[in-house]
Structure formats: C-alpha cells, structure tokens
Structure 1
C-alpha cells in the first residue's frame, strides 16, 4: 500500500519545513524501516538517529503523528489503525494515509530529526543517578541484595533513556528548572536501592522547589509514551510519599499543599477553598507575608461574588474519610 510520509525538517536556528515522501510499504514495516528507505532511495540528506533497531538503545525516539515513540517499535499498520480510530483527517477511505514524523520536543533541533540532548543528560546527572556507598567501609565482598530488594529496582531499571517522556513533559516545557520525568524515575531507583547510603540527602534535593518532584504537573504524558513501561509519574509519586512521611506541614509550601488537601477532603468530603489558601500559603496564619499576598486575590473574589462565605460538607463525607484512612493505613503497613 502507498503511504505519504510528512517529515518535519529543520536546520539549526532555522524555521522548520515540511517535506513529503511517497512510499510503497507493507503494514508490518516499522517507521524506521521507512525512514531508511527514504534516506537510501529518495533523499540521502535526511538526518535521524538509529542504532539497535530492536527497542534496546532508545536512539530512534521521535514524534510520530504527534506523540513521542521509538521508530523501530512502531509500524505502519498500527499507526494507520490508530489514526483511523482517532478519525484523524490524515486518514480516510478515499485518500492515501499520511504519517507525520517530527523531532522530539523540549530539546533544540540540530538537524531534521536529530535533537541536542544536552539538557536531558545534564538533568539526569543532577539527581546523582548512581549508588553511593561512601559511608561504608570497603568490604571484602560485593554489596549483596536479596531477591526482594533487587525486585524493587526492576521497573526503573528498564529505562533506556530514549527521551520520549522528556519530550512530552508539560512541566519541562514551562519550567526550565524541572529536571524531568526520566531523571526522577532514575532518582527513585537510588532511593529504593538498599545499597545506597545517601537517601536523606537525596530526598532533600528532590524536595527542593519546583526543580524536583513538586515541579511535576501529573499530566500522565510520560507514562503514556514510555516504551518500556517505566511509568515515571508512578516513580515521582513514590518519591513524594517518601518525602511526606519524613516532613511536617510546616516544612514547606509544597508539603503543606499535599497534606492540607488530604486533611480538608477528610474533614468535609471536598476542599474548603477558604481554608486551603490560608493554610497552604499562609502556613496556618504563621506566614504574614504569605497572608498579605492573598489579600489582592481575596478582595477581587469578594468584589465579584466569587468568595464562598460558608462551606457545606459533601454527602458521604464519612465514606470518603474511611477510604482515605484505609489507604493511609495500607501505605504505612507497606512502609
């Protein structure tokens, strides 16, 4: 069958252009197979990365029809089927199906589908992604782990550093300080590693401002595009839980935000917005500067009739409270 490939091409510091290539392909051909044919048969100037061709190295990550994926893993048939289910204008019974290929996001383009991954690697290095045994004496034998201890590292150990999650990260797009889901997934691997002796310092670093776990917007894009099912958001959530069990609500606004939210939902079934701002930003009336910062917004809300003067608990509050307490007890028991 014929497929029209639309490739976003770009030189460094120049505007992208769309170039089309028509290929006769089989449904089982991977996107990487098709790019190879384009380069070998039609346009030798096309630039992209590749290596193993077997979903191991992560080199061929790119955006395929708007989502970051591995070109060696996705095939023509599955992409056309996905477009058909989405009722995309790129596919109809009367036209040649189209597949659009673009470079990864959140990283500057070097040429065509090749991006500069310096920020990706620098942010990984920022979380110190290696086991620290500095506090131990050098042993006569290696540091051994039980099968149970090692199993905690399996999921994060599957990461192949392809950059798909980083490319789709909304938090990274608006906050250049955020280290990214790939780095924090690796960070949890270090937190969970029984051989590591620097857990407390790590958690302090990951708790810092919005460059660590609190910068995550929980959009789930990282989980949805990960080709290895590492689930970066799940790992970020685990780090947050480790931090929350060690911190008091007075230790920082990010900590209060999470704890106050849970407290208010337990209390009334949903969030009492009046208390939420005062407790989180005003630190339970202890932070005068925070309280003053709320005044302009509060006055505007009152003027427009948007400030709730009373609060009514939701129906089923007791049931909500019981569910939250059951989850908390389960987490504590596992911890």
Structure 2
C-alpha cells in the first residue's frame, strides 16, 4: 500500500519545514524500515539515528504522529490503526494514509530527526546513577544480593535511555531545572539497591526544590510512552514515599502538601481548604511570611463570598479513613519486606 511520510526537517538554529515522501510499504514494515528506504532510495540527506533495530539500544526514538516512540518498534499497520482510532479516519479510507515523523521534544535539533541529548545525559549524571559503596571497606568478595533484593531492580533496570519520556515531559518543558523522569527512574534504582551506601544523601538531593521529585507534574505521559514499561512516574512516587518516611511535615512545603492532604482527607473525607492553606503555606502558623502571602487571596475570597466559614465532613468519611489506613499499612509491610 502507498503511505505518505511527512518528515519534520530542521537544521540547527533554523525553523522546521515539512518534507513529504511517498512510499510503497507493507503493514508489517517498521517506521525505521521506511525511513531507511527513504534515505536509500529517495533522499540521502535525511538524518536520523539508528543502531540495533531490535528495541534494545533506544537510538531511534522520535516523535511518530505526535507521540515519542521507537521507530524500530512501531510498524505501519499498528500506527495507521492507532490513527484511525484517534482521528476517526475510517471514513477517509480512500485517501492515502499519512504518517508524520518529527524529532524528540525538550532537546534542541542538530539536524532533521537528530537531537542534542546533552541535557538528557547531564541530568542523568546529576542523580549519581551508580551504586555507591564509599562508606564501606573494600570487601574480600563481591556484594551479594538475594533474589528478592535483585528483583526490586528489574523494572528500572529495563530502561534503555531512549529519551521518549524526557521528550514528552511537561515538567521539563516548563522547568529547565527539573532533571527529568528518566533520571528519577534511575535514581529509584539506586535507592532500592541493597548494595548502595548513600541512600540518605540521595533522598536529600532528590527532595531539593523542584529539581527533584517534587517538580513532577504527574501528567503520566512518561509512563504512556515508555517502550520498556519502566513506568518512570511510578518510580518517582516511590522516591516520594521514601522521602515522606524519612522527613517531618515541617521540613519543606512539598512534604507538608502531601502529608497535610492525606491527614485532612482522613479527618473529613475531603479537604478543608482553610486548614490546608494554613498548614501547608503557613507551616502550622510558624511561617509568618507564608501566612502573609495568603492574606490577599483570603481577602478576595471573603469579598466575593467564596471563603468557607465552616467545614462539613463528607459522607462516608469513616470508609475513606479506613481505605487510606489500609493502603498505608500495606506500604509499611512492603517496606519491611
């Protein structure tokens, strides 16, 4: 069948242009197969990265029809079926199907589909993605792990550093200090590794401002595009839980936000907004600057009759409390095991 490929091409520091290629392809051909044919048969100047062609190296990550993926993993048939489902293209079956290919996001373009991944690698290095045994003496034999200890590393160990999650990260797009989901997924691997001797310092670093785990917007894009099911957001959440276990509520606003939210929901079934602002921003009346920052908003709410003068617990508060406590109990048991 005939397929139109629209490739977003760009030179460094220039505006992107769309170049169209018509290709006779089969439904089982991968996107990388098609790009190879375009380069070999139609346009030798087209630039893109590739290596293993077997979803192992991560080199061929790019945006395919608006979402980051591996070109060697996605094929024509599945991609067109996905497009039909999203865009309801069944009524346009007589037209030639189109596939748009673009470079990864959140990284500057070098040429065509090749991006500069310096920030990606620099942010990975920032989380010290290697086991630290500095506090230990040199052992007479290697550090051994039980099968259970090793199994804790399986999911994050599957990461192939393709950059798909980093490309789609909304937090990274608006906050250049955020290290990215790939780095924090690797960070959790170090936290979970029984051989590592630097957990406390790691958690302190990952807890810093919006550079670490608290910079994540929880948009779930990283999980949805990861070709290896690493689930970076899940790993970020696990780091947050470790931090919350080690820290007190008055250590930072980010920690208070999580702890206060849970406590208020347990108490009333939903959030008492008056208490939430005072406890999170005002740090239980101990942060005068924070309390003063709430005054303008509180005044506007009062003037417009939107300030709640009382709080009514929700129906089923007891059931909500029992559910939260059951989850917390399960988390404590998992931590012990």
Do both share a fold (TM > 0.5)? yes
1:92, distance to aligned residue in structure 2 (A): 2.1
| 2:122 corresponds to | 122
**Cα pair 1:90 1:99 within 8 Å, conserved:** no
The answer to whether the Cα contact below 8 Å between 1:61 and 1:68 also exists between their aligned partners in 2 is yes
SS at match of 2:13: coil
- For each residue in 1:223-278, what CA deviation from the matched residue of structure 2 results, as whole angstroms up to 9, or x when unmatched? 00000000000000000000001111011100000000001100111111111111
For 1:133, the equivalent position in structure 2 comes to 133
Give yes or no for contact 1:84–1:91 (8 Å, CA) kept in 2. Answer: no
Which residue in 1 is equivalent to 2:255?
255
- What SS is found at the alignment partner of 2:22? strand
RMSD of aligned alpha carbons: 1.0
CA distance in 2, matches of 1:35, 1:91: 27
Q: Distance in 1 between matches of 2:63 and 2:89?
A: 18
The match for 1:18 is 18
- The ranges of structure 1 where at least 4 consecutive aligned residues each deviate by more than 6 angstroms after the TM superposition are none
Residue 88 of structure 1, CA deviation: 4.8
**Count of aligned positions:** 335
Structure 1 counterpart of 2:292: 292
Q: CA deviation at 1:90?
A: 10
What is the aligned partner in structure 2 of residue 160 from structure 1? 160
Q: What residue ranges of structure 2 are gaps of 5+ in the alignment?
A: none
1:327 matched residue in structure 2:
327
Q: What is the deviation of 1:299?
A: 1.3
Q: Distance in 2 between matches of 1:90 and 1:131?
A: 52
Question: Which residue in the other structure is 2:112 paired with?
Answer: 112
The Cα shift of 1:91 comes to 7.9
Pairs within 5 Å for 1:137-148? 137-148=137-148
Distance 1:90 1:254, change over 3 A: farther
Aligned to 1:195: 195
Aligned-partner SS, 2:92: coil
Structure 2: distance between partners of 1:26 and 1:221: 30
| Cα contact 1:257–1:280 (8 A) shared by 2 | yes
> Is there any run of 5+ residues in structure 1 with no aligned partner, and where?
none
**Cα displacement (A) at 1:94:** 2.2
Please give the secondary structure, in 1, of the residue aligned with 2:45: coil
TM-score, normalised to structure 2, is 0.98
